[in-house]
Amino acid sequence: MSEEVECESAGESVRSPTARKTSKVRSLTEIRSLARSHTRTAIRVLVGIMRSDDATPAARVSAANAILDRGWGKAAQPIENGEDGAPDFVHRVERVIVHPESPGDGDVVPDA
């Protein structure tokens, strides 16, 4: 492999961190590309399961959901927290000022 680097002290080949990262990205890209090349077949299988009278209802629903998710995206999940349906957000901003000439250990106790 061209990405291997010889380790002079141990006498064995070792991959450099850059080579590992590059090959991992390349592998993910190749896997994604390979998976995408089977899209038509996968959709046909899902449609076949969805339409099959022999498939269980759970399998048919699962196939239908998979088809819809890929064609239209997953349905948005509403966030409801408050009484009026709007989400409650709690924000806290805290500022601690430390003076370098302070005689303490660096232990700072913020005001409550």
Alpha-helical runs (H) found in 1-112: 17-37, 39-51, 57-72
Report pLDDT digits (tens) over 27-55: 889 999 999 999 999 999 999 999 999 99
DSSP 106: S
Question: What pTM was computed for the model?
Answer: 0.47
Question: What is 66-91 written as a DSSP string?
Answer: HHHHHHH-PPP-----STTSSPP---
**Higher pLDDT residue, 60 or 11?**
60
Report pLDDT digits (tens) over 52-66: 999 999 999 999 999
**Two tokens at 88?**
């409650």
Q: Are 14 and 5 in contact (CB under 8 A)?
A: yes
